[in-house]
Amino acid sequence: MLKSFSSVSSRSAFVRASSVKRVAGPVYAMAGGQFQFRRGMASESELDLVVIGAGPGGYVAAIKAAQLGLKTACIDKRGPPGGTCLNVGCIPSKALLNNSHLYHQIQHDTKKRGIDVGDVAINLPQFMKAKDDAVTGLTKGIEMLFKQNKVDYYKGTGKFLSANEIEVTGNEGEPSAVLKAKNIIIATGSEATPFPGLEIDEKKIVTSTGAIALQEIPKKMVIIGGGIIGLELGSVWSRLGSEVTVVEYQNAVGAGMDAEISKMIQRSLAKQGLKFKLSTKVLGAEITGETVAVKVDAAKGGKEETLDADVVLVAIGRRPFTEGLGLENIDIDVDERGRLVIDSEYRTKYPHIRVIGDVTFGAMLAHKAEEEGIAAVEYIQAGHGHVNYGAIPSVMYSHPEVAWVGLTEEQVKATGKPYSVGKFPFAANSRAKTNLDTEGWVKMIADKETDRILGIHIMGPNAGEMIAEGVLAIEYGASSEDIARTSHAHPTLSEAFKEAAMATHSKAIHF
């Protein structure tokens, strides 16, 4: 029987028959082609593996398969590999976050550091070019890795003709082909979830794709959704001078965050200028001339209000992306949310067709897809693979950053088991004080009886790098005492991590 996993901690819950449906319509793939085959002609030899999608999960799977000796092809509709993450997601947004932070620092922080700076201005075309250059360099790097590892890369759309045949319709100027494969991995990713009644034009009403490519700095921006994407991009445009208002239906921001950390980062972002309307629903939006009128109301009903904006960013999440994939030709199973149904080894109803990444269950994170890509290939090659879904980190690249792994305090409390919490502020860390960057805490949660670490939550400078130690600790079942007794270099930000462990196990020294 096919199974699904709907959370990072469980992949064994069986999918109820009522939640599974057969695909009977157009779907979406990311595919490609470079060999001189004519459309409709099969390749001369059967491939060991075809990967549909060259995002973080797909390209990693293809390279790993080739390294293990499998004759491999990878298909991607976009052309440049890297998927949403590299082309219009993780990478370009981080370029904008980093450079906007530098701009903000020069404007607000240099004087107290003894650095006098004259007039500072944003050159938006060059600002955007720096982002684009980063993307181009990395996409070319992946294509080079394909060549080095002898992965055949096809630029075009991949569509199932049968359970073993993929038709590749080449992009403009690219040849087409029909590929026959012993194994197939679907890694077609996700797309922005649309908001009912709002028409996305990527100019006035935009998704994250449009928000990273604006041609001018909006005076006012309304963000629908207070999750990671909304808060990161809100940070970028707020630093550049936009008046940003975040509208969130729930009563907290940063979906998935520990509640205490969520409140802390909201206060921090509010001090930076972002405005928040929590427990608020969006009723609709209308473009009137050069502005957009967004109608909102209290989630439980109340007095309607209209927010005016130059740009509205719709950031309410993402959904599996399967358009044009031809799933109707193989009668594959999807659930009520459009996710492809798999078992614990990533197999669909066809044992040789596996699915990884955003298009199936679990957190929609690039690094989660990468781990699944390697595991899926190892199942194909060796019959076993491994991903610890309890040790997948999440990071929000605001400033201060927020990063976490494992369980939140609310999740631990719900188990009813006794637990310990230790905290340490960056305000008491010597390196953070030296850097004049002291906002935030390290919070650690451990089982009170065994001292085994259950969750780690960080808000502060370099939290996204520091969380790696927490991931390793959870992966190997470390106790807070293990970390507390491990030497950390002085002076470093990581000493705050050690001190939080000391506070969890016993008492911190410097706080």
Catalytic residue IDs: 490
- Nearby residues of 118 by Cβ (< 8 Å), 6 or more positions away: none
Q: In the 3-class helix/strand/coil scheme, how is 373-420 assigned residue by residue?
A: HHHHHHHHHHCCCCCCHHHCCEEECCCCEEEEEECCHHHHHHHCCCEE
Cis peptide leading into residue 26 (ω within 30°): no
Extract the runs of DSSP E, i.e. beta strands, from 114-248. 152-160, 165-170, 177-186, 190-192, 205-206, 220-224, 243-247
Structure tokens at 50: 């075809």
Instruction: Determine the Cα–Cα distance for residues 459 and 195; give it in Å rounded to an integer.
Output: 30
Instruction: Determine the Cα–Cα distance for residues 278 and 298; give it in Å rounded to an integer.
Output: 8
Angle at 249 between CA 263 and CA 296, to 5 degrees: 120
- Nearby residues of 270 by Cβ (< 8 Å), 6 or more positions away: 276
Cβ atoms of 409 and 421 closer than 8 Å? yes
Structure tokens at 95: 């370029």
Q: Which helix (H) or strand (E) holds 311?
A: strand 311-314
What is the separation, in whole angstroms, between the first and last Cα of the chain? 54
Say what angle helices 124-148 and 90-108 make with each other, to 10 degrees: 140
The candidate with the shortest Cα–Cα distance to 473, out of 405, 385, 387, 407, is 405
Instruction: Determine the Cα–Cα distance for residues 289 and 380; give it in Å rounded to an integer.
Output: 56
CA-CA-CA-CA torsion sign (112, 116, 119, 124) = negative
Cis peptide leading into residue 400 (ω within 30°): yes
